[in-house]
Structure 1
């Protein structure tokens, strides 16, 4: 009899533990959800904007390089009150000209900002103190950095960015001599993709980069570099001081189906075009990280012109703290927590800047 009681006792104990243990809460089931109403301002000087960038008291708007060559590629706006200040950027490959404004970041002084041109492979500094459209200084990207397609200054003399083909998620280079300083983070195994595990194979590293492709922003002042993945819902936060990552998965936990297609000696990762995109552009504030969430596929975006009307808010350590629902679709954003304002680049026919107020109880 005693022997017969043992399995019953074990079963009874298991049922007690199972029933009394609450399931782990999904961090994206958020209680603090806010509905934000924006006010759009249209600036006729801005033709085909693609990004907005935070530079101190100013917003720098970048134009797509498919505008007439005589028009400026950059626009400087004052944050408060929101107002157009002056244009910047002469299109071209000459001294202090830029053929495109791929990335923009604060300069090494408060009176400048820096533009990286993907076409000319150079960094150009612009002044916020004069109205000249030309840059004031420039330097060519070292040859060793040519494989880097997104990067921001980590210090006065180094850049951290994403390489097109590398076993590391992020790589730091010297801007003085192109010397590779360090690589940070290695690719994690993709579920049900055992063929993508040989990180000595350049093709594998390239494919891992495509699977984990997304938006990338840096904040030199805070020592934070963040990538928001477009196809899988993953946020990767790199802390420069500690050289560590915080990784957040969700709200969708799965990696979408993909295939690797080979053609003409080349290969590429292809995702199902009907699968909705995940994260979009992001902003790194003094206290939080603000990330746009798309949630629509390419066809839906083309039909509606809506790109993102949802912002997830994270701490610098990756905790999900809030969600903002917007009444205006935006493609990029700047957040000034001191002014308590969100500036969004609208996606309608005549794009402008939509301004949303941060909820008073949020900060």
Structure 2
């Protein structure tokens, strides 16, 4: 039996241990929370961009660096969705991705992913529920092959290849954050819960996931999967071999105001602040670092000034902010050439085109 003196000693000892816990990190070994504030952001290096004048680009939206070519995806097209650009010669190499619902055609270039070769690009098209592979050097305008989502993975969205036979994605409904399927539609594993993202556990999971919507990327070795938040400033870093998630919150620590709306017959997030900020507009998971395109302003600034993100935050895979860059062109999307230290983006001005920035570590 403990004596009163023994109990007091244990109580004091436990209090001292709790005081040693860093307030910016959680203790859960499988879900680590790190935070940073505006004062933790270092003075950024200023980069001067070179804007290209590729006249075939009408409404460029997305961009990918394959290691040899830039692939630019259009958001609204007349005939084709993809343009292949050589940034060294500043030449348009190819135009492909014929628009339509026919065999080998696509209706959107929603998400781009590098293939096994620098001459290949995968396009995820959520409208047609398929992943289409394009040979960037082929004179043909159709995809070479495609993976179509089977019925048992119909809820899968934002798909990226995790291996030759598995895909990592999110779900349109359910509490699982990140899910891996095989190509037969069998769910193999799941990581994280949307319900853990808010202190209030009452909103349905699909509402919480809508609050945390954002871009995703996977590292070249397929060991790290990253999501950044558009409406909330956070970054989720999933280490696939261990299943551990590191969540980086900051710099503003903003949660958008929302209500749960049932008018459609099922719960949806209804955002109540029309002047809400947008934060991370795009992300690239590189070999060593994460490159996040940061805005951090109300969308009113975009509608009034026509500008979006002018900053790139660079994180290591432990969630530490290691470098910051500021750009003379605002961008809506980002690609990174780590080998030659170049950023590529799509400008957000009245005449959008590819912009190239050279950077140093």
Please indicate the TM-score interval, normalised by the length of the shorter structure.
0.7 to 0.9
Secondary structure of 2:85's aligned partner? strand
Cα deviation, residue 297, structure 1? 2.0
Q: Gaps spanning 5+ residues in structure 1: where? A: 1-17, 197-203
Q: Secondary structure at the match of 1:295?
A: strand
Greater C-alpha Rg: 1
Deviation at 1:109, TM superposition (A): 3.8
Aligned residues: 329
| Per-residue CA distance 1:112-168 (angstroms, 9 max, x = gap) | 221121121122211133221111122322222221120100000010011111211
Q: Which residue of 2 aligns with 1:139?
A: 147
Q: Which residue does the alignment assign to 1:326?
A: 327
Match of 2:255 in 1: 255
Judged with a 3 Å threshold, the aligned counterparts in structure 2 of structure 1 residues 145 and 194 are, in CA distance, closer, same or farther, namely: closer
Deviates more, 1:27-36 or 1:230-239: 27-36
| SS of equivalent residue, structure 1 residue 108 | coil
Alignment CA distance shift 1:26-1:158 (3 Å): closer
Shift of 1:194: 4.1
Gaps (5+ residues) in structure 2?
Answer: 1-18, 25-34
Q: 2:46 is matched with which residue?
A: 35
Q: Give the deviation of 1:110 after TM superposition.
A: 4.0
C-alpha contact (below 8 Å) 1:27/1:320 kept by paired residues: no
Cα gap change, 1:40 to 1:168, in 2 (>3 Å)? same
In 2, the alpha carbon distance for the partners of 1:38 and 1:23 equals 39
Aligned equivalent of 1:343: 344
Q: 1:215 to 1:23 in 2, by over 3 A?
A: closer
Distance 1:98 1:264, change over 3 A: closer
Over the residues paired in the alignment, what is the CA RMSD in angstroms?
2.1
Q: 1:224 to 1:263 in 2, by over 3 A?
A: same
Report what 2:13 is aligned to: none
SS in 2 for 1:230: coil
Equivalent in the alignment of 2:6? none
Matched, 1:193 2:200: yes
1:67 corresponds to which residue? 77
Runs of 4+ off more than 3 Å: 22-28, 108-111, 188-192
Partner of 1:102: 110
- 164, 188, 211: which one pairs with 1:181? 188
2-side partners of 1:190 and 1:357: how far apart?
A: 36
2-side partners of 1:170 and 1:315: how far apart?
21
Paired position in structure 2 for 1:13: none
Distance in 2, matches of 1:95 and 1:283, equals 31
Q: 1:302 is paired with a residue of what secondary structure? A: helix
Is residue 86 of structure 2 the alignment partner of residue 78 of structure 1?
yes
CA distance in 1, matches of 2:243, 2:354: 35
Q: Is the 8 A contact 1:314 1:321 kept in 2?
A: yes
Larger mean CA deviation between 249-258 and 51-60 belongs to: 249-258
Query: For 1:107 and 1:192, how far apart are their aligned partners in 2?
Result: 39
Q: Is the 8 A contact 1:63 1:74 kept in 2?
A: yes
Task: State the partner residue of 2:303.
Answer: 302
Q: Distance in 2 between matches of 1:316 and 1:23?
A: 20
Q: Output one character per residue of 1:67-91: Cα deviation in whole Å (capped at 9) or x when no partner.
A: 22xx210001123343321101111
Deviation at 1:344, TM superposition (A): 1.0
User: Map of 1:278-317 to 2, 5 A cutoff?
Assistant: 278-317=279-318
CA distance in 1, matches of 2:50, 2:57: 17
- How far has the Cα of 1:224 moved from its partner? 1.8
Equivalents in 2 of 1:191, 1:330: separation in Å? 30
Aligned partners of 1:144, 1:218: CA distance in 2, in Å? 24
